[in-house]
């Protein structure tokens, strides 16, 4: 997922993203240049004060006083302008980070469930939290000081040559050494920080997965191996961080040597030039002061490069995510009031180069009709069901509602017509009300309770001490499997969808709960078209038609009696089922 884009590409893309804020950016750069110039005026004023006011026969207090007043006014102006500029940059930064976050969320929302199958949740969490936070830090603490440091150095080089080109040339050798060290540091730190971010994402992924699967960890006594694995990831993260910090300290030492060396060389050469009147005392003093002023931006650049490298690595990853092609784009069409849901010549494969899981499938579910999908394990029933609910798109053919290709339909229109009820994993942390309102945010408490009552869960709701405010836990873990099903079915009633695609629960519900859930399914799906992946014979028998999925397609379709009479695959499946039970 990492995009190997060049830093220039990164900068251009970022500037293009900032387009709506370009006037503010231009103003901020102008303010920055002005404040940098005022901050550098001090030694120049001092030079004037020394050469014109102090050196000579008699000190001229007028010159010194005027120099003092000028220095003070410039310093105050610089302070005021830098406050304005800080405010402006803060706003631009906040806007940029918000824009990036919302684009990332929008992009991820346009992805199919297949994308989430292959992209660990931890990686997405890391993009939206750690990476965006790194950018926020960089904007506030990195970009402005970095630009200021660079501007200061550019102005300083110009000033040093203007003061004395001979002394400026003396500094050329240490400056060249410094430049070489900076180029090396930039290269080395880029890969070091990309590794740091990769290690952080690894740790977050593992942590998320292990915590989400805590029950499995407990059930299979995997505590020790989980702790060992997490420690291993943590150690690798620490190792990557230490390498990055070591690089930084090497660079810092090289920089200090270069600065100290150039001051010593300037003092030696300056003394010789002064005795020959080639430079004035004021010029030499100003020159050394300017060199001391150079130390701070050069030193801070080493840290700022680190912050910016982190931000660039984060930005590269966020752009990488934004560059992943959207595989479930939203259409613009609304849907007619009534219609059949049909698969027309549908083919599907999970990845390029893999064999087709489904090919040339035709299946129509008319309004109000109940169709059961049966077939051997791995035949493609779930895949077909997910395609019918547009959890992802077919690789060939079309899935249509009232003859409209689902790819052309708005997400809202589709979800209010076709809803998929999976076996589990449909609830999120929060209250019962929060989970029910996920499908209809404007529903009143009365409507929520009504939906639960209509699937036979009214008594259950009344027995809950917290009522609709009851917390369901992560993934609904505080509810039983049967209760989770009831909530999912109540959602179908709230949505008032026309077609329900249902993966019938197989998890070991006790007989009482199983009957309750069966009754809830009947209540929630009455008067709606249903496509059910059937695991129980009673569900199969009660269907209007049964589609036998086998070898990548619908092998047989008809009523229970028709298919039995035909004596084909369905008859064989029923015989196998009856022998088994």
Ligand X SMILES: Nc1ncnc2c1ncn2[C@@H]1O[C@H](COP(=O)(O)OP(=O)(O)OP(=O)(O)O)[C@@H](O)[C@H]1O
Residues that bind ligand X (CB under 6 A): 117, 350, 357, 375, 377-383
Residue (4 or 580) nearer to ligand X, CB? 580
Min dist. Cβ of residue 489 to ligand X (A): 20
Cα separation, 80 vs 458, whole angstroms: 66
Residue (359 or 381) nearer to ligand X, CB? 381
Distances (CA, A) of 527 to 59, 356, 367, 432, 497: 103, 34, 8, 26, 10
Residue (77 or 507) nearer to ligand X, CB? 507
Which residues make Cβ contacts (< 8 Å) with residue 535, sequence separation at least 6? 504, 505, 506
Residue (243 or 382) nearer to ligand X, CB? 382
Residue (270 or 380) nearer to ligand X, CB? 380
Cα separation, 223 vs 126, whole angstroms: 24
Contact of 519 with 485, CB cutoff 8 Å = no
Min dist. Cβ of residue 485 to ligand X (A): 17
Min dist. Cβ of residue 464 to ligand X (A): 32
Min dist. Cβ of residue 570 to ligand X (A): 15
Cα separation, 9 vs 12, whole angstroms: 5
Residue (204 or 374) nearer to ligand X, CB? 374
Cα separation, 494 vs 256, whole angstroms: 69
Contact of 43 with 286, CB cutoff 8 Å = yes
Count the helices and strands in the chain (H runs, E runs).
23, 10
Residue (325 or 441) nearer to ligand X, CB? 325
Min dist. Cβ of residue 580 to ligand X (A): 14
Min dist. Cβ of residue 581 to ligand X (A): 17
Which residues make Cβ contacts (< 8 Å) with residue 310, sequence separation at least 6? 134, 137, 138, 193, 196, 197
Residue (142 or 380) nearer to ligand X, CB? 380
Q: Is the dihedral of CA 253, 259, 262, 264 positive or negative?
A: negative
Residue (124 or 301) nearer to ligand X, CB? 124
Min dist. Cβ of residue 539 to ligand X (A): 14
Which residues make Cβ contacts (< 8 Å) with residue 236, sequence separation at least 6? 199, 202
Long-range CB contacts (within 8 A, 24+) of 517-523: 517/482, 517/485, 517/486, 517/489, 519/455, 519/456, 520/455, 520/456, 520/457, 520/485, 520/486, 520/489, 521/489, 523/454, 523/455, 523/456, 523/489, 523/493
Within 120-222, residue ranges assigned H as helices are 121-126, 132-138, 144-163, 165-170, 172-212, 214-219
Min dist. Cβ of residue 181 to ligand X (A): 49
Residue (115 or 257) nearer to ligand X, CB? 115
Cα separation, 218 vs 214, whole angstroms: 6
Min dist. Cβ of residue 498 to ligand X (A): 23
Min dist. Cβ of residue 497 to ligand X (A): 22
């Amino acid at each position: 997922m990492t995009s190997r884009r060049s830093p220039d590409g990164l900068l251009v893309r970022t500037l293009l993203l900032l387009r709506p804020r370009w006037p503010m950016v231009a103003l901020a750069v102008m303010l920055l240049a002005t404040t940098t110039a005022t901050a550098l005026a001090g030694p120049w004023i001092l030079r004037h004060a020394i050469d014109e006011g102090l050196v000579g026969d008699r000190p001229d207090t007028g010159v010194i006083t005027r120099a003092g007043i000028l220095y003070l006014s410039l310093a105050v102006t610089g302070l005021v302008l830098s406050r304005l500029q800080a405010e402006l940059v803060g706003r631009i930064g906040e806007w940029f980070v918000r824009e990036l976050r919302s684009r990332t969320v929008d992009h991820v929302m346009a992805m199919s469930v297949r994308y989430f199958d292959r992209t660990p949740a931890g990686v997405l969490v890391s993009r939206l939290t750690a990476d965006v936070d790194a950018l926020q830090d960089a904007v506030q603490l990195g970009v402005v000081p970095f630009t200021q440091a660079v501007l200061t150095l550019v102005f300083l080089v110009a000033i040093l040559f203007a003061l004395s080109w001979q002394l400026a040339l003396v500094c050329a050798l240490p400056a060249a050494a410094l430049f070489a060290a900076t180029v090396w540091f930039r290269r080395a730190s880029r890969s070091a920080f990309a590794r740091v971010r990769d290690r952080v994402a690894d740790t977050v992924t593992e942590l998320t997965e292990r915590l989400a699967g805590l029950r499995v960890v407990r059930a299979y006594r995997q505590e020790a191996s989980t702790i060992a694995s997490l420690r291993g990831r943590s150690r690798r993260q620490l190792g990557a961080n230490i390498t990055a910090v070591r690089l930084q300290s090497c660079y810092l030492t090289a920089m200090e040597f270069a600065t100290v060396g150039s001051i010593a060389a300037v003092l030696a050469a300056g003394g010789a030039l002064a005795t020959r009147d080639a430079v004035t005392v004021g010029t030499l003093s100003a020159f050394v002061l300017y060199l001391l002023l150079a130390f701070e931006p050069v030193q801070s650049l080493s840290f700022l490069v680190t912050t910016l490298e982190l931000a660039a690595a984060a930005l590269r990853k966020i752009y990488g995510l934004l560059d992943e092609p959207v595989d479930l784009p939203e259409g613009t069409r609304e849907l007619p009031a009534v219609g059949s849901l049909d698969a027309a010549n549908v083919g599907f494969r999970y990845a390029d180069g893999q064999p087709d899981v489904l090919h040339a499938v035709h299946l129509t579910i008319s309004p109000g009709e109940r169709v059961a999908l049966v077939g051997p394990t791995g035949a493609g029933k779930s895949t077909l069901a997910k395609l019918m609910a547009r959890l992802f798109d077919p690789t060939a053919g079309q899935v249509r509602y009232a003859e409209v290709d689902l790819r052309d339909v708005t997400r809202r229109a589709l979800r209010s017509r076709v809803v998929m009820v999976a076996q589990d994993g449909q609830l999120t942390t929060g209250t019962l009300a929060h989970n029910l309102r996920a499908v209809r945010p404007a529903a009143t408490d009365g409507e929520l309770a009504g939906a639960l009552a209509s699937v036979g869960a009214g008594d259950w709701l009344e027995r809950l001490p917290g009522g609709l405010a009851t917390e369901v836990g992560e993934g609904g873990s505080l509810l039983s499997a049967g209760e989770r099903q009831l909530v999912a079915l109540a959602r179908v009633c709230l949505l008032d969808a026309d077609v329900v695609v249902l993966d019938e629960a197989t998890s070991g519900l006790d007989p009482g709960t199983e009957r309750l859930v069966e009754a809830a399914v009947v209540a929630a799906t009455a008067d709606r078209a249903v496509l059910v992946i059937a695991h129980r014979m009673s569900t199969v028998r009660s269907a209007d038609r049964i589609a036998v999925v086998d070898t990548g397609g619908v092998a047989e379709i008809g009523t229970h009696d028709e298919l039995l009479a035909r004596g084909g695959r369905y008859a064989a499946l029923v015989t196998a089922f009856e022998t088994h039970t």
